[in-house]
Amino acid sequence: NRGIACLAALSETHQILQKTCREFANAELAPKARHHDREELYPAEQVRRLGELGLMSVTVREEYGGSGLDYQAYAIGMEEVARGDAAVSIVMGTVECLLNNLYLGAVQQHGTEQQKQDFLVPYTQGEHIAFYALSEPGNGSDAGAASTTAKLQGDSYQINGTKAWISNSKEASGGIVFATVDKSLKHKGITAFLTPKDVPGLSIAKKESKMGMRATSTCQLMLEDVQVPRSRVLGAPGDGFKIAMQSLDCGRIGIAAQATGIAQAALELAVDYSQKRVAFGKQLARLQLIQQKLADMATRVEISRLLTWRAAWLMDNGLPITKEAAMAKLHASEAATFCAHQCIQILGGMGYTTDLPAELYYRNARVTEIYEGTSEIQRIVIANAVLRELGR
């Protein structure tokens, strides 16, 4: 029974990981989060420490320099890191997305041994970070409509186009670019290319000025006659859309965990403040309308965590996750925005200032409803699955 098995108590390894990550987040992430956000500073030192703790490659096998743990461990680590600083958890999630591409899929392993040596091993320790370039200025949700082109000339593809909203792209050393080898084939022309960032023709254009997650860069990538050898095609030409969808299925578990971490942080701040602040001669926490908010927040946090852990458990057991990961991402992201919103309300005027992190939680939460597939896209994925499962 899928549902019951994933509710079993955390293993000792998971409990130790959770405690280690929580202590690390309290000591080294949360105290710097608002400074990094305000100054739009990339958290290089924190990412390096994530690498030391094995959190930049949780699910990568040890032979490639990873921690060799499971997706449940990844979800636990992401939640705790995001609880401390959600922007740092984006770096962790994006790198995991690249690593997943080399590992996962119907063919089990898309990446060749050489590709793994070049694009897996260097990214496992936090020294190098990666980008994942799927979206374009003209198409985000409709990922199959990619207009970046890849033309085979001799033994290399020549790539031209613009990728948009690419996380980490300013600091990254390399990553994955999706481009079409034949636009008339629609999604069946999309191909995944591994490329270092430091190659002729690849440049960073506009850096977005964002509402939240300001400590990480989000930029446009310009590709002008970028040469990528055939040996750097991941899978086969035309496999790219499926590779992207499979890695987004896993990525959505990560964003669900990230959102759960933000919601948990908002809940903890709201509880703390409501017990310190007095109104009408009582702690806020004794007022039943405030208790209602705390109860609704706590319930949504726990539903988010359970859905996320269930999706991770399915992944760890080799079962389909598309619907379950979408449900976890949908619920957890909307719960994070809800909890951060309620946290601001419970803090009153203090919630609206930058003296306390409630407003940061809100700004960071909001994007979890947008990236790795908007809430509307998650609902489409879930509805399609439900119609297949239950429809005529």
Contact residues for ligand CAA, defined by CB under 6 A: 93-94, 97, 132, 134-135, 141, 143-144, 167, 187-188, 241-242, 245-246, 248-249, 251, 322, 371-373, 377, 380-381
Using CB under 6 A, pick the residue from 210, 232, 242, 310 that binds ligand FAD: 210
Q: Which residue's Cβ has the minimum distance to ligand CAA?
A: 373
Query: Rounded to the nearest 5 degrees, what angle is found at the Cα of 117, between the Cα atoms of 316 and 236?
Result: 75
Distance (Å, whole) CA 249 – CA 133: 16
Query: Nearest Cα to 108, choosing from 243, 248, 308?
Result: 243
Q: Is 372 among the catalytic positions?
A: yes
> Applying CB under 6 A, does 370 fall inside the site for ligand FAD?
yes
C-beta closer to ligand CAA: residue 145 or 350:
145
CB of 369 to ligand FAD, least distance (A): 9
C-beta closer to ligand CAA: residue 116 or 323:
323
Burial class (CB in 10 A: 0-12, 13-18, 19+), 311: buried
CB of 64 to ligand FAD, least distance (A): 22
CB of 327 to ligand CAA, least distance (A): 13
139 in helix, strand or coil? strand
What are the residue ranges of helices labelled H in 65-183?
A: 71-84, 86-103, 113-119
Distance (Å, whole) CA 218 – CA 173: 15
Report the 10 Å Cβ neighbour count for 279: 12
| Four-point Cα dihedral 28, 30, 34, 37, nearest 10 | 70
C-beta closer to ligand CAA: residue 62 or 376:
376
Question: What is the Cα gyration radius of the chain?
Answer: 21
Q: Which does 226 bind (CB under 5 to 8 A by kind): ligand FAD, ligand CAA, none?
A: none
C-beta closer to ligand FAD: residue 57 or 218:
218
**39, 171, 372, 389: which is the annotated catalytic residue?**
372
| Tokens, residue 152 | 């085979």
By annotation, the residues acting in catalysis are 372
Chain residues in the site for ligand FAD (CB under 6 A):
94, 132-135, 140-141, 165-167, 210, 213, 218, 367, 370-371, 373-374, 376-377
